[in-house]
Amino acid sequence: MISEYIKQSGESMAEPAGKNLIAVCGKGGTGKTASTAMMARTLYESGRAGKLLLIDADPAMGLLSALGQNVKRTMGQIREKIIKTAQKGEKEEKARLGDMIDYMVFEALTEMDEYALLAMGRTETLGCFCPVNTLLRSAVETLSQSFDTILIDGEAGLEQINRQVVRQLDILLIISDPTSRGIETADLIKKMVMDDNVIKCEKLGLVYNRVRGSEDLLRQSAEKIGVSVTGFIPFDENIAAHDLVGKPITDLPADSPALVAYREIIEGIL
């Protein structure tokens, strides 16, 4: 069923630039969600992203408001249903669970013209349900295969993406603000990838967000931790203004400085 998913708006699109699985991570509050929303807009406006899937992997689900969207069901709710059925369900129902999972994940997918959206949400039932997580992750991985570009808004740590979403990325973008704590977290994330193999990824890049001052100093800090700088995103008054009145970040004016900077980053990636 998942592989039958076909995006309707393909006619006016340029050729997709090949498969890209991109995740965004970084210290809390550095602008991961705003960045994901701006990249999402840039991707679907570029016409080169092909079929685009956005995954909100943060339990707080900030990406939904940054996009001005909602979802009927989260993956967390599906996980609950599976755990309850596995614990209390009839024998027959339990036996069918494996077959039902792909379908349930498909039900959590919200499809729009520009992109499809999946929210991981939070899980209520505490404890380790590794077999359930593995089944769900493999369903998300299968679903991802039907898309050309997948963009994930994550948390600071990468374990949650690896445990619940995907085990392999093409690009991991670490968002940092121009503070030493942001860069320290970027360093920790780099070590998680390079030394601890928390997740596999082809390319690692650092994006400085809310930049107001010298780029040279920031570049030097990135050099010290051995991560290349993918881009500098200026502090953008429009983002603050949109946040204040709860307007989606994706509705920023087309010439908004941060959006313009993300357009360049995406051009470099695609």
Ligand X SMILES: Nc1ncnc2c1ncn2[C@@H]1O[C@H](COP(=O)(O)OP(=O)(O)OP(=O)(O)O)[C@@H](O)[C@H]1O
Binding site for Mg ion (CB under 5 A): 32-33, 62
Note whether 248 binds ligand X by CB under 6 A.
no
Note whether 33 binds ligand X by CB under 6 A.
yes
CB burial readout 38-71, b (16+ within 10 A) else e: bbbbbbbebebbbbbbbbbbbbebbbbbbbebeb
Token pair, residue 20, equals: 């890209």
209 binds, among ligand X, Mg ion, none (CB under 5 to 8 A by kind): ligand X
Among 28, 68, 131, 226, binds ligand X (CB under 6 A): 28
Note whether 239 binds ligand X by CB under 6 A.
yes
14 binds, among ligand X, Mg ion, none (CB under 5 to 8 A by kind): none
Give the distance, in angstroms, between the CA of residue 102 and the centroid of all CA atoms in the same chain. Answer: 20
Query: Of 50 and 178, which CB lies nearer to ligand X in the complex structure?
Result: 178
β-pairing, 116-119 with 110-111? antiparallel
Note whether 34 binds ligand X by CB under 6 A.
yes
H/E run at residue 41: helix 32-46
Note whether 57 binds ligand X by CB under 6 A.
no
Note whether 240 binds ligand X by CB under 6 A.
yes
Among 2, 5, 17, 62, binds ligand X (CB under 6 A): 62
Q: Residue 175, SS3?
A: strand
Radius of gyration of the chain (CA): 19
Q: Hey, which residues between 196 and 215 contact ligand X (CB under 6 A)?
A: 209-210
Residue type, 65: S
Among 7, 32, 51, 79, binds ligand X (CB under 6 A): 32
Note whether 68 binds ligand X by CB under 6 A.
no
Query: Of 16 and 26, which CB lies nearer to ligand X in the complex structure?
Result: 26
Q: From 121-129, 166-174, 196-204, 236-244, give the range in contact with ligand X by CB under 6 A.
A: 236-244
Token pair, residue 32, equals: 């991961």
H/E run at residue 215: helix 215-225
Task: Tell me if 21 sits within 8 A of 171, measured CB to CB.
Answer: yes
Residues 238 and 59: their CA atoms lie apart, in Å, by: 26
Residues 147 and 6: their CA atoms lie apart, in Å, by: 9
Note whether 231 binds ligand X by CB under 6 A.
no
Note whether 233 binds ligand X by CB under 6 A.
yes
Query: Site residues (CB under 6 A) for ligand X?
Result: 28-34, 58, 62, 209-210, 233, 235-236, 239-240, 243, 258
